[in-house]
Amino acid sequence: TTTPVKVAVTGAAGQIGYSLLFRLASGALLGPDTPIQLRLLEITPALKTLEGVVMELDDCAFPTLAGVEIGDDPNVIFDGVNHALLVGARPRGPGMERGDLLEANGGIFAPQGKALNAHAASDVRVTITGNPANTNALIAMSNAPDIPTERFSALTRLDHNRAISQLAAKLGVPVTEIKKMTIWGNHSATQYPDLFHAEVGGRNAAEAVGDQDWLANTFIPTVAKRGAAIIEARGSSSAASAASATIDHARTWIDGTAEGDWTSMSVLSDGSYGVPEGLISSFPVTVSDGQWSIVQGLEIDDFSRAKIDASTAELAEEREAVKGLGLI
């Protein structure tokens, strides 16, 4: 028998958790032949709800689910984990300033980083979905000095998938025709979904669209503000699509990107494309043997330059704020 792969999920009793756990347990991340052990972290008041979710997981009798541990102590839940999906975060409440939001999330992601540092498996890979995802990832990474920095990444795959879907709909092609989509910058309204390097059926996507007005004034804002549009329509924030993207992200990190394609991941900047070193920013990346690398050598025109700079300036401000709070 194969040893189960240990996957931690935080915020497991939340909306995204309710979609994510069942897909993980059914083999969507590791395939049908690899047993998975779920290690689920919640805050104490949410443990009862989580027990109910675990009852439902039991009731699915998933062949690949080799066990479930739940608890409110990251030092216990992160023990031996190979993948950590950090979903639970503090949402912005009424009247909360950005500084308050960053501080509240620092109170979550700094101790979780420390707990991962002390207890996770030596091959741990950490995906941060909880918002503000990029800066939360920076906080977790900075509090885990013994884990290689390249093992931390934040989710911009949902934005990437949204961009693919919008472009496919515009051109009337299947999503499988679209390659080399890129989200640059922050997972926020300043993000830059880039069609100048994307391809549709082998052809440049911006040329295939042939409509700079649509690209600048419809496509980019539609992708960047999709989260708000979902809230408006559904009455709560995107959850199933966020869970699906979290699995896509973690699975690409394991399986790699296809030849002739890349994905978008928020990873530690080495200064590529003028993105300040040390920020966790979204880039075009290829993945091979479990290691990501930033795609090099893309030409960035003035339009793209301004968009990338605006989003990374926001990331730099967030970094200054959490530095000021002593979180990194």
Point out the annotated binding site.
Answer: 11-17, 92, 98, 105, 112, 129-131, 162
Residue least distant from ligand NAI (Cβ):
14
Q: Judged by CB under 6 A, does residue 158 bind ligand NAI?
A: yes
The one segment of 26-34, 81-89, 291-299, 301-309 that binds ligand NAI by CB under 6 A:
81-89
Spatial distance between the Cα atoms of 153 and 137, rounded to a whole number of angstroms = 6
**Residue 38: closest CA among 87, 82, 90, 88:** 82
Find the part of the chain contacting ligand NAI (CB under 6 A) among 42-50, 56-64, 209-217, 286-294.
42-50
Applying CB under 6 A, which of residues 5, 10, 28, 269 lies at the interface with ligand NAI?
10
Pick out the residues of the known binding site for substrate.
Answer: 92, 98, 131, 162
Tell me the two tokens of residue 276: 């300040």
Burial environment of residue 49 by CB neighbours within 10 A (0 to 12, 13 to 18, 19 or more): middle
Q: Report yes or no: 65 and 40 within 8 Å, Cβ to Cβ.
A: no
- Residue choice 133, 164, 220, 322 for contact with ligand NAI (CB under 6 A): 133
Interface with ligand NAI includes 155 (CB under 6 A)?
Answer: yes
> According to the binding rule CB under 6 A, does residue 120 interact with ligand NAI?
no
Residue 190 binds to ligand NAI (criterion: CB under 6 A): no
Choices 5-13, 137-145, 204-212, 268-276 (CB under 6 A): range interacting with ligand NAI: 5-13
Q: Which amino acid is at 211?
A: D
Phi, psi dihedrals of residue 247, rounded to the nearest 5°: -70, -45
- Interface with ligand NAI, residue 293, by CB under 6 A: no
Write out the binding residues for NAD(+): 11-17, 105, 112, 129-131
Spell out the residues 6+ positions from residue 261 whose beta carbon is closer than 8 angstroms to its own: 179, 180
Q: Which is nearer to ligand NAI, 46 or 200 (CB)?
A: 46
Site residues for ligand NAI, window 44-63 (CB under 6 A)?
46
Options 83, 160, 187, 197, the catalytic residue: 187
Q: Is 119 a catalytic residue?
A: no
- According to CB under 6 A, which one of 130, 185, 193, 284 is a site residue for ligand NAI? 130
Residue 24 makes contact with ligand NAI by CB under 6 A: no
Region binding ligand NAI by CB under 6 A among candidate stretches 36-44, 177-185, 208-216, 282-290? 36-44
Contacting residue, 15, 117, 165, 190, with ligand NAI by CB under 6 A = 15
Kindly report whether the peptide bond that precedes residue 132 is cis, defined as omega within 30 degrees of 0.
yes
Active site residues: 187
Binding site for ligand NAI (CB under 6 A): 10-11, 13-17, 41-43, 46, 87-89, 91, 108, 129-131, 133, 155, 158, 187, 237-239, 242
